[in-house]
A = this chain, B = another copy of it.
Amino acid sequence: MISDIFCKIVQKELPAEIVYEDEEFLVIKDIHPQAPVHLLVVPKKHFDQIHAASHEDLDLLGKMVLVAGKAAKLAGTEEKGYRLIINQGQDGGQLVPHLHLHLLGGKALGPKIIR
């Protein structure tokens, strides 16, 4: 049985600061924020990575992007701007093996997108 930290949060077995929830997604606050706004868009369905998703998941992946846009609005970053990041695998710095999308904002993040 898959039981990464996000699956446990989805199942309400672990606490999290939830800022949005619907049938398919949770949006939670990152516990180690790297910007004034740092949210995580987490699909309730478990995928390790994008490569585990198929054409059948097209709607879910599209909704992940739209939910991120909605979360940006809820967080007040829609107008000034924000950055969405999906880390995949070791080189990508993915810390939890459950597909998720970071939303960062609340300050100018600069044109450099990696160190």
Bound: A63/B61 CA distance, A: 8
A80 at the interface (CB under 8 A from B): yes
- Given A35-B114, A50-B69, A62-B58, the answer on whether A108 and B83 have CB atoms closer than 8 Å is no
Residue contact A88 to B72, C-beta cutoff 8 Å: yes
- Of the candidates A55, A60, A88, A90, the one having the most CB atoms from chain B within 10 angstroms of its own CB is A88
Say whether A79 faces chain B, with CB atoms less than 8 Å apart: yes
What are the residues of chain B within 8 A of A95 when measuring CB–CB? 111
Cα–Cα, bound, A15→B75 (Å): 38
Q: List which A83-109 residues lie within 8 A (CB) of chain B.
A: 83-95, 102, 104-109
* Complex: chain B residue closest to A104, CB-CB: B114
